[in-house]
């Protein structure tokens, strides 16, 4: 709970001082969403992550590493909410972008591959394609 309070305070101050669309404000929003998800507050996390991702795409672009991290976090909340198809679509896109931007062997790319595999497993898609 202390982390959540600290991030809430930081997010509020960042919005006021830096503005809604400042990359640091959006990074804080994404981290707050991650924290909320860890506290099983996935619906609230989803809303925050969706807004942060939309803004990051507009401010930094679709392929920026921070945008891709935010997308991965949103997909995790969707997965936790049982929205496996939406998580899969987002994880597939994130994996493709990370492969192109970071390469196949980058740790973030491997995390995306793992997340997509979890989505496919949840959807019952166990066979190789």
pLDDT tens readout for residues 6-56: 989 999 999 999 999 999 999 999 999 999 999 999 999 999 999 999 999
Mean pLDDT across the chain = 94
Binning pLDDT at 50, 70 and 90, where does residue 129 land?
A: very low
Q: Is the distance from CB of 108 to CB of 97 less than 8 angstroms?
A: no
HSE-CB at 6 with a 13 A cutoff on CA atoms is 5
pLDDT of residue 91: 98
Q: In residues, how long is the chain?
A: 129
Mean pLDDT over 96-119 rounds to 97
Global confidence as pTM: 0.90
Q: At what angle are helices 65-80 and 107-122 packed, to 10 degrees?
A: 20
Nearest residue to 56 via CA among 69, 43, 46, 44: 69
For the chain, domains (ranges, CATH) are 2-122 (1.25.40.10)
Q: Helix, strand, or coil here: 113? A: helix
């Amino acid at each position: 709970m202390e982390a959540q309070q600290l991030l809430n305070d930081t997010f509020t101050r960042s919005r006021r001082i830096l503005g809604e669309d400042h990359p640091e404000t959006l990074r804080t929003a994404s981290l707050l969403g991650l924290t909320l998800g860890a506290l099983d507050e996935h619906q609230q996390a989803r809303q925050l992550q969706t807004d942060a991702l939309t803004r990051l795409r507009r401010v930094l672009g679709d392929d920026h590493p921070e945008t891709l991290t935010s997308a991965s976090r949103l997909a995790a909340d969707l997965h936790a909410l049982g929205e496996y198809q939406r998580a899969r679509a987002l994880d597939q896109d994130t994996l493709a972008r990370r492969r192109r931007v970071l390469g196949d062997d980058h740790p973030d790319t491997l995390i995306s591959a793992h997340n997509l595999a979890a989505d496919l497993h949840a959807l019952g898609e166990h066979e190789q394609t």
